[in-house]
A and B are shown apart, each in its own frame.
Chain A
Amino acid sequence: MPETPAFAEPVDTPSGSDIVRAEAVHKSFGRLEVLKGIDMTVMPGEVKCIIGPSGSGKSTFLRCINHLEKINAGRLYVNGHLVGYRERAGKLYELRDHEVAAQRRDIGMVFQQFNLFPHMTAMENVMEAPIRVKREPKQEVRERAGELLNQVGLGDKLRNYPSQLSGGQQQRVAIARALAMRPSLMLFDEPTSALDPELVGEVLDVMRRLATGDTGATDGVAASGMTMVVVTHEMGFAREAGDSLVFMDGGVVVEEGAPREVLANPKQERTQAFLSKVL
């Protein structure tokens, strides 16, 4: 490991190859401890699915990754940088708002409730952040936004407002909106849980293509398969598109492994009990 120059931005982690690394992450809301020491690594290009009963802390953990929630103990690194803090001489310093914002630019997030901006068209939703946050030229962003919406199958809905789109279409716009920032990591927080059953497939399909890199992208948007952390209840998606599967319960990782293996032969009793209810 090379010596860190005194004034350079230090890379906090010794091994720079992983995208996400969580070490004993704890999170409490008041007196309720939601995460009780999570260890997890996500490698580049990996699609990690997190399953578990509601209240197991899986969504909270996902929100910690882009600092929507502050962790109380442990360490969480994204791309080798500590999330939300700076560590110098063994001391943690909180990052300023604009520094946290800069970290989030690299992490795309898709929400259960889509959270599209209702006063903007699909196109404007996708264009907003690259123009306002990255200050990229408008014409370039417009072209990329059109292409992204095309890739998610909404090339004919550019001028529609979210209220004129179905849930599945809205979620696909939300995915395009996150991709427009060219993130190195995508977080999905139960992306299909708010959808009518017949609309789940179209969203999973987009995610599957994103995972394999089969997006038809010409400008390198996830050309080699996006790194993704997916909190989901879709066991089929986890089995087929996931590289690894994590089962969480009661704020801890109970079991982790290859999706087919975990789903077919769960080793832990709690995993068996959960899977017997949902499969």
Chain B
Amino acid sequence: MTTATQEKGPAPETAIKAVPVRHPGRWVAVVVILVLVAMFVNMLITNKHFDWPFMFDNMFSPPILHGALTTVGLTVSSMLIGVVLGVILAVMRLSTNPILSGVSWLFTWFFRAMPRIVLMIVFGNMGILYARLEIGFPFDTQIGHLLGVDFHGRLFGVDAPTLLTGFMAALIGLALSEAAYMAEIVRAGIQSIDEGQSEAASALGMSRGQTMRRVVLPQAMRVIIPPTGNETISMLKDTALAAYVPVNSELFFQIQAVGTRTFNVFPMLVSACLWYLAMSSVLMIGQHFLERRFSRGHGRTARGGAAGMPTGVEGGSLSA
């Protein structure tokens, strides 16, 4: 009723004509900001070292476009592995099996402690440890020695440099590090779901696995999605670290390469800023729509909210 009358506008006799509160401070701030912006734009135009024509000529050159593609590929694939592994680790961590939860804790502890760039460079240098990577019977030659025979139980193998390219090293480093963070995010999501939900599922005879897949995880998604969006944006930026593995097809590597080759470093750094800004913005837009989708059905109506979510509050006050 009240909203309906407000929408029609106030009745003529009772309409209030009051002088609104003045905000002189806002005008001062606008002037100050305008002056600062003008100074900044002036600097961008007059400072010769920006060399805009050079930047725009090189910003979209084929190696840099290829680098941008590598960056996107590295972001997407390491996030995919990270999310899948993170969910598995989170479920393991919350398992009643002490071995599973112990392994998960150990993984998370180690990979959260390692700086990503250190991890990536370590994986990049794995070739020093292993010339070949082989899969087969463990301790085969030692057992052969004990038995006095020449036993080699290797099924197959590859030369390390074939498999551990710079890209693979960066991917493994980023993905494992991400998995550790995602495990914590997913765990928080799972733990945010009311225990009554899994109790109800158990009471219906559902197994732990069914309860997790059908009841808990779908509800936890709403809590898991926003931080995962943040993680994806962080990941996009962290792929720049791959330039030091090195991954020579990566965006930042290529941009720096152009800069050092032409002795025109600063314009290329500006182009790096613009590239990351553009790609992050696209991700932020995606995150916005994803969040809106997954928060659907929550706080739908006043009655829906009262009946759906805070039943605990209602019951608590009654039973207390």
Cβ of B199: which chain A residues have Cβ within 8 Å of it?
A: 68, 111, 115
Interface residues of B, count at CB 8 A:
34
Using known A-B contacts A54-B319, A129-B205, determine if residue A117 contacts B215 with beta carbons closer than 8 Å: yes
Shortest CB distance A132–B (Å): 6
The yes or no answer to B203 lying at the interface (CB within 8 A) is yes
- Docked Cα-Cα span, A98 to B244, in Å, equals 51
Tell me if A128 is interfacial: C-beta within 8 Å of chain B. Answer: yes
Residue A118, interface by CB 8 Å? yes
Q: Is the CB of A128 within 8 A of B204?
A: yes
A215 and B204 alpha carbons, distance in the complex (Å): 21
Q: Does A152 contact B (CB under 8 A)?
A: no
A181:B197 contact, CB within 8 angstroms: no
Smallest CB separation, A86 vs chain B (Å): 18
Q: Is the CB of B204 within 8 A of A129?
A: yes
Q: Within the complex, what minimum Cβ distance (angstroms) separates B309 from chain A?
A: 7
Q: Does A73 contact B (CB under 8 A)?
A: no
Task: Decide: A163 near B298, CB < 8 A? Known: A101-B207, A112-B319, A118-B219.
Answer: yes
Interface centre among A97, A112, A194 (most CB of B within 10 A): A194
Q: Are B204 and A104 in contact (CB under 8 A)?
A: yes
Q: A54-B319, A119-B218, A193-B318 are in contact. Are A164 and B304 (CB under 8 A)?
A: yes
Are the C-beta atoms of B308 and A132 separated by less than 8 Å? no
Tell me whether A114 is interfacial, beta carbon within 8 Å.
Answer: yes
Task: Give the interface segment out of A7-15, A165-173, A255-263, A270-278.
Answer: A165-173
Interface status of A161 (Cβ within 8 A of chain B):
yes
Q: Give the distance to chain A from B236, nearest Cβ to Cβ, in Å.
A: 30
C-alpha spacing A98/B201, complex, angstroms: 13
| A66 contact from B201, B203, B298, B311, Cβ within 8 A | B203
Q: Which residues of B contact A115 (CB under 8 A)?
A: 194, 196-197, 199-200
Of A101, A164, A165, A193, chain B has the most CB atoms within 10 Å of the CB of A101
Contacts of A162 in B (CB 8 A): 307-308
B window 8-28: CB within 8 A of A: none
Residues of A with C-beta under 8 A to B307: 162-167, 170
A190–B319 CA distance with the chains assembled, in angstroms: 10
Query: What is the 8 Å Cβ interface bit string for chain A, positions 81-115, against chain B (1 contact, 0 not)?
Result: 00000000000000001100110110111011111
**Using Cβ atoms and an 8 Å threshold, which residues of chain A touch B218?**
119
Q: How far is the CA of A104 from the CA of B201 in the complex (A)?
A: 10
A194 surroundings in chain B (CB, below 8 A) = 311, 314-315, 318-319
Q: Say yes or no for B240: interface residue by CB 8 A criterion.
A: no
- Bits for B160-176, please: 1 = Cβ < 8 Å to A, else 0: 00000000000000000
B136 interfacial by beta-carbon distance below 8 Å: no
Q: Give 1 or 0 for each of B278-320: 1 = CB within 8 Å of chain A CB.
A: 0000000000000000000110110111011101101100110
CB nearest to A170 among chain B residues: B307
- Interface range, A side: 35 or more
Residues of A within 8 A of B305 (CB): 163
Decide: B207 and A97 in contact? CB cutoff 8 A.
yes
Interface pair A132/B206, CB less than 8 Å apart: yes
In the complex, whether A144 has a CB less than 8 A from a CB of chain B is no
Interface code B185-221, partner A: CB below 8 Å = 1, 0 otherwise?
0000000001011011111111110100011001100
Pairwise interchain contact B207-A98, C-beta atoms closer than 8 A: yes
Distance from B194 Cβ to chain A, minimum over Cβ atoms (Å)? 8
Is there an interface contact between A104 and B203, defined as CB atoms closer than 8 Å? yes
Instruction: Kindly identify which residue among A68, A119, A129, A161 contacts B206, using a CB–CB cutoff of 8 Å.
Output: A129
Indicate whether A181 sits within 8 Å of B304 (C-beta atoms), given known contacts A113-B312, A117-B197.
Answer: no
Contact B309 A101 (CB under 8 A): no
Contact between chains at B315 and A193 (CB < 8 Å): yes
- Residue of B200, B205, B210, B314 near A167 (CB, 8 A) is B314
Complex alpha-carbon distance, A112 and B312, angstroms = 9
A104 contacts which chain B residues (CB < 8 A)?
A: 202-205
B304's partner among A113, A163, A174, A190 (CB-CB below 8 A) is: A163
| CB atoms of A132 and B214 under 8 A apart | yes
Docked Cα-Cα span, A166 to B308, in Å, equals 8
Q: CB-CB < 8 A to A181: which residues of B?
A: 204-205
Contacting residues, chain B, for A105 (C-beta < 8 A): 204-205
Given the complex of chains A and B, what is the CA–CA distance between A185 and B204 in angstroms? Answer: 12
A178 within 8 A of B: yes
Q: How far is the CA of A114 from the CA of B208 in the complex (A)?
A: 20
By the criterion CB–CB under 8 Å, are A133 and B204 in contact? Answer: yes
Instruction: List chain B residues, Cβ under 8 A from A167.
Output: 307, 311, 314
The reply to whether B203 and A119 contact each other, CB–CB distance below 8 Å, is no
B297 close to A119 (CB less than 8 A): yes
CB of A234 to closest CB in B, whole Å: 13
What chain B residues lie within 8 Å of A66 (beta carbons)? 203
Asked if A117 and B200 make an inter-chain contact with CB atoms under 8 angstroms apart, the answer reads: yes
A-side contacts of B312, CB under 8 Å: 113
Contacts of A97 in B (CB 8 A): 207-208
Say how far B288's CB is from chain A's closest CB, in angstroms. Answer: 22
15 sampled A-B residue pairs with Cβ under 8 A: A68-B202, A97-B207, A102-B205, A104-B202, A104-B203, A108-B203, A111-B196, A115-B197, A118-B219, A118-B309, A133-B206, A133-B210, A162-B307, A193-B318, A194-B319
The 9 closest A-B pairs by CB, nearest first: A163-B308, A194-B315, A105-B205, A115-B200, A129-B204, A109-B203, A163-B304, A115-B196, A104-B205
